[in-house]
Amino acid sequence: MQKQPDMGNKNTNLQKAKDAKYDEFYTTYEDILKEVYHYTAHFAGKTVLCNCDDPFESNFCLFFLRHFNVLKLKRLICTSYKSSGVITTRLSLNDNFGKSLSNGFGYVLDVSKFSNTKGVLPEEEVVKFLKRGKAIRILRGDGDFRSDECIEYLKQADIVVTNPPFSLFKEIVATIMQHGKHFLLVGNQNALTYKEIFPLIRDNIVWTGYQFGEMKFRVPASSEPRKIRYWVDATGQKWRSLGNAMWLTNLDIQRRYEYLPQTKRYSPIEYPKYDAFDAIHVRKITDIPCDYAGMMGVPITIVNRYNSEQFEIVGEANHGSDNEYDLFKPTIKGKLIFKRILIRNRNPMTTARFRVLDLFSGAGGFSYGMEKNPNFVTEVALDFNPKAIDTFKHNMPHAETVVGDITNRSVKQKVVELSKARGVNMIIGGPPCQGFSLKGKKLGLADSRNYLFKEYLNLVKAINPEVFVIENVKALLSTSAGWFKDQIIKKVTNMGYHVEYGVLTASDFGVPQSRQRAIFICSRIGVVALPKPTCQKSVTVREAIEDLAYLNSGEGAFEQDYTTKARCKYQRLMREGSTKLFNHKASNHDEIAIRKLRLIPPECGKEHLPEDMLGKQQFSGTWGRLKWDEVSPTIDTRFDAASNGTNNHPFLHRAITPREAARIQSFDDKFVFIGTKVYIRQQIGNAVPPFLAKAIADQIQNCLVR
């Protein structure tokens, strides 16, 4: 851990700070529980120091005593300051000599063990322990956290957890950092811009915790009444609330790795520049544009959404203080703006050459794959299924999404307006074409069952994109001796587009699956041939999912930690940028299904089942297991049913999980599917494999971008 220079001033005593600031705020037990819950793994075998004003009235002491065994603490040390405003207000206690605790002395509680109870201890048991006084003794000094005596306790501790006087917040942080300790502290958000705290935030040495904003605090009886955020409860206890409270820590937590969704685009009208500095003003955190590469002034609350892989903190604009990190006074047309933090996007979305409308988008496989080429970005997506759109929005929040029926006039109008406003010049999608499976040429494109395809082309006419791509079932090209294919080509050609078409096999482009799709690439600015295969050697089922081969039927969870290491290039690629494993939950099969699977050897099928267990399935692939060293057959929307087809695990007695199916579709682990099991399997089974979509995007770029 990086150590910082001591910023404490031992000539300034704690009492003067409190007299000047009236900043004794005592944290509620509920807020401590709510925060510490996220850090439980950090406390096992550790010594915790709570250098509070008075640990015997403080909820920190109470919390850690009650949870001493649950958290598997090694030791708990609580020190008190000599003139606490709350001492003896809730408990009358004695030290280890039987002397009553009182103002004027510092005390220490030092506990290594006091109960054999494994769970959370009742508060009554803690009170009995404290009243015995065996672990409490008077300090030689006043209990100031900067005193030599308290520093010795700090040296023995691993983690400091407390709520210091806000006026001394920067000093306690400096003292803790100087001694290389971890901490979890309650403070005021204003501290984030202090010259002593800000560089620690900027350099990703400390960060905010989970509670950030409104918190209530118990205050001493001597606290002066206030007009707002102040009340006295039925017991006479005085309370204050703060809208800008926070927890600050250097304990690693998942929150700091979460990406802030960026849905806005830069425009000079919406994002004015400051008068004296080359940075744009961003009014709200949710307004941070995804495509601006320069400096941006944002609210200081960005710290609670800060991910160092997404943003770089550059400095602050804090009204011209003496802080070396305070770069300028934030004014716009002479009007002073509240202090800001200056950031940059580490990976701003480039001004993409192709801005996409995704029709019949589903969960977004087509768009997600296209966006793996930086020259493509999806601006608008339409689908009638709100569950699929939930997944789309979760993974591509920058896109404007519309839920609705493409045949509805108002829905079409909204899609056209959004597309024109966001500069759409490309359309993608797979319009269902039910009538294409019928025999006979008389029905044709006039058949009502092909209306969705016609609506797709109507939107092409309205938006006039440079390029559009149609994907559909392979059979579309051969149905009725190719008559439907010829009608499509004729109609699109009459609209002024060059058309190239054919069948693409997903495994030719790095997808571990034999899926085949008919693809039409239509361009009015040049011919775009279908992409050639990019893989000489197919990615196998083993390479796709072997690192996930540990769940049995019914096991797993929506979110979990990785339990194995990646074993090959494809698995490393799938895990890249993902800190958690999502959607890896196995179906809870009936006992009869598991018995059948136990009879089927690895990589085999229903030919190993006795005749009386075959059931009524007519297709040869039912009850089949995937083969490790081959590509998977096409993933459909019922991959989680053991009897459905060849989608059972190569050797485990279960069907593949949604995450395994997603891997076989080439969705990386960052892509999270939202919804119940039924909706998720539909989203995965109906998707265009992202790697196939990327190959199409790459080909369009190669042919049209000069």
Return d(Cα 251, Cα 336) in angstroms, integer.
36
Instruction: Work out whether the CA dihedral 117, 123, 124, 127 comes out positive or negative.
Output: positive
Burial status of residue 470 (CB atoms within 10 A of its CB: 0-12, 13-18, 19 or more): buried
Rounded CA separation 161/183 (Å): 6
User: Looking at residue 272, what DSSP letter applies?
Assistant: P
The C-alpha atoms of residue 352 and residue 399 are separated, in whole angstroms, by 13
Written as six digits, the tokens of 509 are 């482009």
Please classify residue 94 by burial: count the beta carbons closer than 10 Å to its beta carbon, then call 0-12 exposed, 13-18 middle and 19+ buried.
middle
Q: How many CA atoms lie within 13 A of 304 on its CB side?
A: 18
**Residue 50 a catalytic site member:** no
Q: Are 431 and 390 in contact (CB under 8 A)?
A: no
What 3-state DSSP class applies to 650?
Answer: coil
Interatomic CA distance for residues 397 and 377, integer angstroms: 12
Cα–Cα distance between 38 and 208 in angstroms, integer?
12
Q: Which of 537, 534, 542, 540 lies closest to 513 in space, CA to CA?
A: 540
Contact 290, 398 (CB under 8 A): yes
CA distance 181 to 42: 13
Q: If DSSP codes are grouped into helix, strand and coil, which group holds residue 100?
A: strand
Specify whether the CB–CB gap between 163 and 26 falls below 8 A: yes
Q: How far apart are CA 677 and CA 674, in angstroms?
A: 9
Residues sharing a CB contact under 8 Å with residue 11, sequence separation 6 or more, in sequence order: none
Bridge partners (DSSP) listed for residue 212:
246
How far apart are the C-alpha atoms of 650 and 626, rounded to whole Å? Answer: 5
Local structure of residue 189 (DSSP, 8 states): G
462 Cβ contact partners less than 8 Å away, ≥ 6 residues apart: 412, 416
Helix axes 451-463, 483-494, angle to 10 degrees: 20
Going by the DSSP 8-state scheme, the letter that residue 94 receives in this structure is B
Coil, helix or strand at residue 232:
strand
Catalytic residue among 52, 78, 290, 433: 433
Q: Residue 178's CB: how many other CB atoms inside 10 A?
A: 16
- Cα–Cα distance, 254 to 130 (Å, whole number): 35
- Helix-then-strand count for the chain, H and E: 18, 25
Residue identified by tokens 């000069």 is 706
β strands within 97-223, DSSP E: 107-111, 136-138, 159-162, 182-188, 207-219
Look up residue 120 and give its two tokens: 């959370």
Q: How far apart are the first and last CA of the chain?
A: 49
Q: Which residues are catalytic?
A: 433
